[in-house]
Structure 1
Amino acid sequence: MLDFCFTIPYGLLLVVGGVIGYAKKGSIASLAGGAGTGLLLVLAGFLSLQAYHKRKNSYFALILETAIAALLTWVMTQRYLQTSKIMPAGMVAGISFLMTGFYLYKIANGGNHIPPKSD
């Protein structure tokens, strides 16, 4: 399980959610929060992918992914507790909680597994 395989779709999901929130309700906060964090996650996923192609781990990307997912878990859990709305707060909090756990697992296990070089 490589982090960028989950991070890039997760980031894109947040970008789309932010854009939809802006389109439906005119929410600048939704656009900035969703699209902003989503784009940062896509960037971190891309950095991790590039490092993997160089047969390395990008701990910067992994720490950035973890920090964003943990922040989103906290913020969206607070919003869910205030509004009791599953969409989007509860859903984003749940997905972000799972992603935070995944990233912590990757950190604890030394990042992405780099397969041995084949000749």
Structure 2
Amino acid sequence: MHDFCFTIPYGLILVCGGIIGYFKKGSLASLGGGLGTGFLLILAGYLSLQAFHKRKNSYFALILETVCAAVLTWVMGQRYMQTSKIMPAGVVAGISVVMTGFYLYKIASGGNHFPSKAE
């Protein structure tokens, strides 16, 4: 599976979560964090998709995705440990740790693999 297949939906989930957090609790931190990391991940997914269309890998996008997911794992994991609230800290930390592992696997395996051209 290609990184952009998961990165773009992951970014959209974060954007939606930030917006929901703002409207439910009036949290500007939730809005800023959700929009900031979400749009950064969507951008990285888009860059990776564009590189894939050219049959190349975007290691910049992979590293950006990994850093975002690792930072979210750390920050939301700490917040979950302090508050024990499943929503949103536990869920975001859980998703982010899985995505961090996925991105590290993609880096270790050489990025996206391209299907051979059938003639």
- Both proteins in one fold, TM over 0.5: yes
**1:22 equivalent in structure 2:** 22
* Alignment of 1:69 onto 2:69: yes
1:114 Cα deviation from its structure 2 partner: 1.3
- Indicate the SS of the match to 2:60: helix
Displacement after TM superposition at 1:117 (Å): 2.9
**Residues paired across the two proteins, number:** 119
In structure 1, the partner of 2:13 is 13
Shift of 1:101: 0.1
- 3-state DSSP of counterpart to 1:111: coil
Deviations 1:74-97 (A, max 9, x none): 000000011100000000000000
Q: What does 1:1-119 align with in structure 2 at a 5 Å threshold? A: 1-119=1-119
Task: For residue 118 of structure 1, report the CA deviation from its aligned partner.
Answer: 3.5
Structure 1: segments with no counterpart, 5+ residues = none
Helix, strand or coil for the counterpart of 2:112? coil
Structure 2 length normalisation: TM-score? 0.98
Distance 2:118 2:71 in 1: 39
- Compute the displacement of 1:115 (Å): 1.6
Residue identity (%): 79
TM-score normalised by structure 1 residue count: 0.98
The code of the aligned residue for 2:62 comes to L
What are structure 2's unaligned runs of at least 5 residues? none
Q: Offset of 1:116 from its aligned partner?
A: 2.0
Q: Distance in 1 between matches of 2:108 and 2:78?
A: 27
Query: Deviation of residue 110 (structure 1)?
Result: 0.2
Instruction: Report the residue type matching 1:112 in the other structure.
Output: N
Residue type at the aligned position of 1:113: H
